[in-house]
Amino acid sequence: MTEIARGLEGINVTATKLCRIDGLKGELIYSGYNIYDLAEKSSFEEVAFLLWNQRLPNKQELDDLKAFLNKERPLDGVVERLIRELWPHVRPMRTLEIAVEVIGAIDPDSSDLTQPTLRKTAARLTAKMATVIAAYDRLRNGKEPVAPRDDLGHAANFLWMLTGEEPTELAKHVMDVAFILHAEHEMNASTFSAMVTGSTLSDMYSSIASAIGTLKGPLHGGANEAVFKTVDAIKEEKNIAPHVEALLGRGERVMGIGHRIYKTTDPRAVILERLGHQVAETSPDRWYFDLSLKLRDYLARKLEGKPLYPNVDFFSASVYRMLGIKSDLYTPIFALARITGWTAHLLEQYADNRLVRPNALYEGAANREYTPIANR
């Protein structure tokens, strides 16, 4: 083979029952369920069960999952002490990456790759990663971590641990939907990274650490923080045109616009925009959202005729800001949701494993003779 698919674009590396994307129609399907239906009618816990089992749970199964998540929310003392040591020196995504490795290191069953144990590991990581990020943010703000509450769902409990305040019903709903929208997205870069690591039969914790390291890049999950920085730098509508022209003049991208798969508006962006209008009604930071809308409209005119539309990162930035969340937590929140999709793909990988080992086309020198160092 002499053809090269740069970035593996257009290459099917596996088969999956988890997710289908139609980039031309703007469709996102989780195991047969449309993302619009799941965002409107479901919960993050239901979606997690769906991805791990390819079906929705009955009431008892959902109650059992919630109970397991509740039990796994508290952090081991080793992990909590680690976060206390790390926060002055390390950014949140790196903290999350390290914490996942340590959680795995102290799990005596980390090397058990049987499906029942892997499912427990997936749920354990889903529960504990949220606590890690909330504790990190509290500590760096000079506050003690807030203990999780058993009477709150996963998204609401995360907001509670983050702020120490009872979240509003709207905030609970928005966070829950945001988790659902970010839960899974087929064979993206971080999922592939997890799959490559898992294919060596390394444990799930190491595979997830690989995924986290991949997600934090600005061309992947880090794009949502980059969107916030763009809007924050623009500040006023009159600055949109010169700021965008300067970006494009330097050959840079406008983050949050365009997607490798979608050739129309990302359906997740559609849902987040709708939620953004609701949050903006009472938010003192609504100008971020309003300015994002104006930036979107300007780019639509500027890029007319090109398949470049808002993706999920574009509106998640302003929605999270209006919820009072710091910009460097946007990508960790992405990870707190995507852990379900990552682990679901790993369940498939481990169940029918083949080592990922692609080829590379050699274009280097040929037939070179070795010269002793004295003659060089």
Note the pLDDT of residue 291.
95
Distance CA 339, CA 148 (A): 19
Q: Mean pLDDT across the stretch 148-152?
A: 97
Q: Clarify whether 220 is annotated catalytic.
A: yes
- Residue 35 near residue 29, CB atoms below 8 Å: yes
pLDDT value of position 365? 96
What is the DSSP code string of 31-50? TTEEHHHHHHH--HHHHHHH
Longest dimension (CA), the chain: 78
What mean pLDDT do residues 289-314 have?
91
- Backbone φ and ψ of 190, nearest 5°: -70, -35
Averaged pLDDT for residues 245-250 = 91
Q: What is the mean pLDDT of residues 159-175?
A: 97
Q: Where are the domains of the chain?
A: 15-216+329-351, 223-322
Q: Are 43 and 67 in contact (CB under 8 A)?
A: no
Give catalytic status of residue 259 as yes or no.
yes
User: In this predicted structure, what is the pLDDT of residue 1?
Assistant: 60
Non-local (6+) Cβ contacts of 131 within 8 A are 73, 74, 75, 145, 148, 161
Contact 26, 46 (CB under 8 A): no
**In the predicted structure, residue 221 carries a pLDDT above the cut 90:** no
Gap between the terminal Cα atoms of the chain = 36
Out of 154, 185, 243, 259, pick the active-site residue. 259
pLDDT confidence of residue 138: 98
Within 10 angstroms of residue 111's Cβ, the number of other Cβ atoms is 13
CA–CA gap between residue 254 and residue 264 (Å, rounded): 16
Looking at 220-265, list the stretches that DSSP marks H as alpha helix, in order from N- to C-terminal side.
223-234, 240-249
Q: How many CB atoms neighbour CB 134 within 10 A?
A: 25
Q: What does the pLDDT average to over 248-264?
A: 88
Output the CATH code of domain 15-216+329-351: 1.10.580.10
Residue 255's pLDDT band, with cuts at 50, 70 and 90, is: confident
**In the chain, what percentage of residues exceed pLDDT 70?**
100
Catalytic residue among 107, 203, 266, 313: 313
| C-alpha separations of 114 from 51, 117, 161, 195, 198 in Å | 17, 6, 32, 16, 13
Q: In angstroms, rounded to a whole number, what is the distance separating the alpha carbons of residues 254 and 240? A: 11
Provide the pLDDT for residue 201.
Answer: 98
At residue 257, the 3 state secondary structure works out as: strand
pLDDT at 222: 86
pTM for this entry: 0.95
- Which of 154, 173, 182, 220 is the catalytic position? 220
Strand, coil or helix: what is 138? Answer: helix
| Separation CA 366–CA 376 (nearest Å) | 19
Name the class of domain 223-322: mainly alpha
Task: Compute CA distances 295 → 176, 220, 299, 315, whole Å.
Answer: 26, 21, 6, 11
Residue of 304, 221, 216, 307 lying closest to 257 (CA atoms): 307
* pLDDT tens track for 18-62: 999 999 999 999 999 999 999 999 999 999 999 999 999 999 999
Q: Is residue 10's pLDDT more than 90?
A: no
Q: Does the pLDDT of residue 206 top 80, yes or no?
A: yes
What are the Cα distances from residue 365, in Å, to 21, 157, 245, 369? Answer: 41, 58, 42, 11
Strands (E), the chain: 19-22, 27-30, 33-34
Predicted pLDDT of residue 252:
87
Contact 194, 346 (CB under 8 A): yes
Interval 58-106: pLDDT, tens: 999 999 999 999 999 999 999 999 999 999 999 999 999 999 999 999 9
Work out whether the CA dihedral 330, 313, 194, 117 comes out positive or negative. positive
Q: Do domains 15-216+329-351 and 223-322 have the same CATH topology?
A: no
CA 152 to chain centre: 22
CB distance 134 to 162 below 8 Å: yes
